[in-house]
Structure 1
């Protein structure tokens, strides 16, 4: 494999055994292949987390920009009153 950097990684005995079993079973060709896949998965999770945080930040900003908060109980009371009035006047939902 061209353009690679060798590094040393310390693993718990359980992690090392899991890696060895994956290689011995033929699921992976080498411990390096296991580590490369683990790094790809880690990078993907980090990117997904960053995207989720950005989306949450956007939703927060939208909420702040939407104006003052409304009391939930009061809002539901207004909706119920509106529906009761509509139904009481022979309206349909």
Structure 2
């Protein structure tokens, strides 16, 4: 790697053991590779979380813009009555 910065990281004994086992098993060539992958995955999760928060904000704004909220039970009751009226008049669903 041409352009790297060396950083010291403190790990719990369990984390250090897991890292050593990953290297010893041949899954990774070095502890640095393990840390680089961990950082890439952390960054990806962080990016996904930020995108989810933006999407949640858009959905919130859409909900607010859609007008006053109505009671779900009342809405379903109106739907039931409408269906009952159609079925009662010989209509079909």
**Bin for the TM-score computed over the shorter chain:** over 0.9
Gaps of 5+ in 1: none
- Displacement, 1:58? 0.5
Alignment root-mean-square deviation, CA: 0.5
Aligned partners of 1:89 and 1:51: how far apart in 2?
A: 50
Taking structure 1 as the reference length, the TM-score comes to: 0.98
> Which residue does 1:12 correspond to in 2?
12
Runs of 4+ in 1 over 3 A off after TM superposition: none
Task: Measure, in 2, the Cα distance between the counterparts of 1:70 and 1:49.
Answer: 30
The match for 1:42 is 42
Counterpart of 1:26? 26
- What is the deviation of 1:87? 0.3
In structure 2, stretches of 5+ residues that fail to align are none
Task: State the Cα distance separating 1:38 from its structure 2 match.
Answer: 0.1
Equivalent residue for 2:54? 54
Q: Residue 68 of structure 1: SS of its match in structure 2? A: coil
Aligned residues: 93
TM-score w.r.t. the length of structure 2 is 0.98
How far is the alpha carbon of 1:20 from its aligned partner?
A: 0.3
What is the aligned partner in structure 2 of residue 84 from structure 1?
84
Task: Write the deviation string for residues 63-92 of structure 1: whole angstroms up to 9, x where unpaired.
Answer: 000000011121111101100000001111
Aligned-pair distance for 1:14? Answer: 0.4
